[in-house]
Amino acid sequence: MADNVWVIGVHMTKFGQHKDKDALDLGSEAALSALADSGQTIHDMDVMAAGSLFNAAAGIGQQIQKQIGQTGIPVFNVSNACATGATAFRTVYLSIKAGEAEMGLAVGVEQMGKMGLLGAAGSAKGAKTEYEPAGRYGNVMPVEGILGTGTMPGVFAQAGMEYAYKHDGVTVDHFYKIAEKNHAHSSLNPLAQYNKRFTLDEIKNAQMISYPNTMLMCSPNTDGAAAAVLVSESKLRTLPLDVQKRAVRVAASVLTTDPYVDGSHVLPDVNTCTRNAANKAYEMAGIGPQDLDLVELHDCFATAELLHYDNLGLCEPGGAADFLDSGAPWRDGSTPVNVSGGLESKGHPIAATGVAGIYEITTHLRGEAGDRQIDGAKVGLTHVIGLGSTCGVHILEKSAL
């Protein structure tokens, strides 16, 4: 394997509704801006990986190339649910690690508009009503919402309530408090989809989506893109000093999927693959969760964030509620979590989210995050999970070359 891999350029577009731009516009903007941030051009890249879940069959990487420069380099178009952006980043990372490239560009982009609820939502109108065994599982009628659910609000609501059931001291108020925190954090992020603080009462009284998650506890449909430029350490040493000084090392890059656990064919397991990825990432980076200065985790719903405090080892097993009550995950706490506003408030353009996490951590480690800056940040972790399930964890470190 090649030497260390570093991030030398990042960019994230404004997240929100972009009615005057399409996915290609957003992806190209992010790519060109990340290249400019790195001091490089597309002609310096040896490989490119691009992800767009809703353009998975369209060759989004080649389309972006036609806007920013066609140089003949290999392009990997990836699709991996909510871990698509993290997978694109890891694809470039692995190409450099394998010695096949010295520099590469990773892009994640999505234009979701107002497409509504994602995931399984029952049978189509006009479906047959004969009660005959059919399909892979031989069921005689649709089982969505009867034997488990495939809708993301339902999956994460039930997972959160299961955690509350198993651990004393966890109440629905803890989930409301997470949403309160993340909306407060986003008020300092000019690139977030929403910049408004909400009170606990406003969060509780918002439209119910899937108990206990109200609308203000759910990630919105979002348009946006993010990109990153990666480089080998040997190549980095040849670049100008100002590029070297802003470089951030990729201390760990891990991608996992679900092992078999009881019940996972009824309700997707959203915990085990995160636990496995986090443990492997800490081992790879040679650190523990206590060494993290900030975390960007996958709070697609407020209930999910509480689970992942535990899954990522940020607290003692079963201690997620105490961790939250201590104030630790607030921006001024001991382990700030989702200073960007998280998916609930920053937004969740699915394929862009993984790279957006890289952008956020890199920006803090460079000391360039403005009003939301975590002072003295040197180590950060990004986490995404896509139902299916796939988990991506990256640990970034500000260290001397």
Strand boundaries in 52-149, DSSP class E: 75-78, 103-110
In whole angstroms, how far apart are CA 369 and each of 292, 360, 362, 363?
A: 17, 8, 9, 5
Task: Return d(Cα 327, Cα 63) in angstroms, integer.
Answer: 45
Q: Give the SS3 label for residue 391.
A: strand
In whole angstroms, how far apart are CA 203 and each of 12, 336, 338, 351?
A: 28, 21, 18, 27
Contact between residue 352 and residue 85 where contact means Cβ atoms under 8 Å apart: yes
β-strand pairing of 248-257 with 390-397: antiparallel
What values do phi and psi take at 228, rounded to 5? Answer: -145, 145
Pick from 216, 176, 224: which is nearest to 200 by CA? 176
Pick from 331, 264, 252, 256: which is nearest to 288 by CA? 252
352 contact partners, CB below 8 Å, separation of at least 6: 12, 15, 30, 85, 108, 109, 110, 224, 225, 226
CA angle, 343 then 299 then 230, to 5°: 65
β-strand pairing of 75-78 with 47-51: parallel
Token reading at 296:
């960007």
82 is catalytic: yes
- CA 148, 303, 212, 217 dihedral sign is negative
The one catalytic residue in 82, 218, 300, 391 is: 82
Q: What is the DSSP letter of 53?
A: G
Cα 130 from chain centroid? 42
The one catalytic residue in 11, 298, 308, 348 is: 348
273 is catalytic: no
* Active site (catalytic) residues: 82, 348
